[in-house]
Amino acid sequence: MSKPVVATTSLAGCFGCHMSFLDIDDRILELIELVEFNKSPINDIKKFTKKCDIGLIEGGCCNSENVHVLKDFREHCKILVSLGECAIMGGLPAMRNGIPISECLAEAYLNGPTVSMNEERILPNDPELPILTDKVYPCHEVVKIDYFLPGCPPSADLIWLTLVALITGDELQLPYEVVKFD
């Protein structure tokens, strides 16, 4: 039987959840025995090459590209997991949600105290750039999410236990140490 396939991505996040993932340390050797990785920054595969079993999503959606990537994940993965505060709630990037995006852009590129160049007073508009969404959306407000792993970041142990449970089909055991956050 072929190994389960895992994909991961970081949307509007800080890669902290991925760093926490790497904190499983030498268990990563065990992991690659258990699963095969497809699209992920860990192996630098940029495009899906096949259907996957598990997709881990770090970060919420702050622009059009995030939304496209997330929808792509939903299409390719049987199970999608929101990994960490930003994916679940929007997190730190969502602090802008109370301010209209046009005001955010004006502050950042036109009127802010640190704006010194930009003499033509241009807001970044290159067609290559993703367009910002009006607010930062948690992943489940865009596509269906199957599981949520809380934490900022979720601890390596929590990620490890979850992956093992999803792969083996055993019930997930969550000791207190794994889900306490202070």
Partner 1 sequence: MKTAVRKITERYGKDKTRLMDILIDTQTELGCIPREATLQIAEDLVMSEVDVDQTISFYHFFSQKPTGRYKIYLNNSVVANIMGMKEVVRTFQKELGIKFNEVTPDGLAGLYETSCIGMNDQEPAAIINNRIFTRLTPFRVKEMVRDMKEGKDIDDMFVADYGDGQNRSDLIKSVVSNNIRKIGPVLERNYKPGQAIEKIINMDPGDIIEEIKKSNIRGRGGAGFPTGLKWEFCRNAPGEKKYILCNADEGEPGTFKDRVILTELARLLFEGMVIAGYAVGATEGILYIRYEYKYLQQYLESILQTARETNYLGKNIQGRKGFDFDIRIQSGAGAYVCGEESALIESAEGKRGEPRDRPPFPVEKGYLDMPTVVNNVETLCAVVKVILNGGDWYKSFGTVESTGTKVLSISGDCKFPGVYEVEWGFSVNDILDMVGAAKEDVQAVQVGGPSGALISPDEFNRILGYEDLATGGSLIILSNERDILTDVVLNFTEFFIEESCGSCSTCRIVPTLLRNKLMKILNARGVKQDIDDMLEWGKILRASRCGLGQTAANPILSSLKNFRHLYEDKIQKNKEFDSGFDLNAALKEASKATGRVTII
Residues that bind partner 1 (CB under 8 A): 64, 67, 100-102, 105-106, 123-125, 127, 131-135, 137, 140-144
Closest CB 127 distance from partner 1, rounded Å: 7
Closest CB 135 distance from partner 1, rounded Å: 8
Do 86 and 12 contact (CB within 8 A), yes or no? Answer: yes
Spatial CB neighbours of 164, under 8 Å, sequence gap ≥ 6: 34, 170
Helical ranges in the chain per DSSP H: 16-22, 27-34, 64-76, 85-89, 101-106, 156-168, 176-179
Closest CB 48 distance from partner 1, rounded Å: 20
Judged by beta carbon, residue 137 or residue 160, the one nearer partner 1 is: 137
Judged by beta carbon, residue 42 or residue 97, the one nearer partner 1 is: 97
Closest CB 115 distance from partner 1, rounded Å: 16
Closest CB 79 distance from partner 1, rounded Å: 14
Residue 3: closest CA among 42, 41, 31: 31
Judged by beta carbon, residue 21 or residue 137, the one nearer partner 1 is: 137
Judged by beta carbon, residue 101 or residue 179, the one nearer partner 1 is: 101
CB atoms within 10 A of CB 61: 28
Place of tokens 């258990």: 34
By DSSP bridging, strand 61-63 and strand 132-137 are: antiparallel
Judged by beta carbon, residue 99 or residue 172, the one nearer partner 1 is: 99
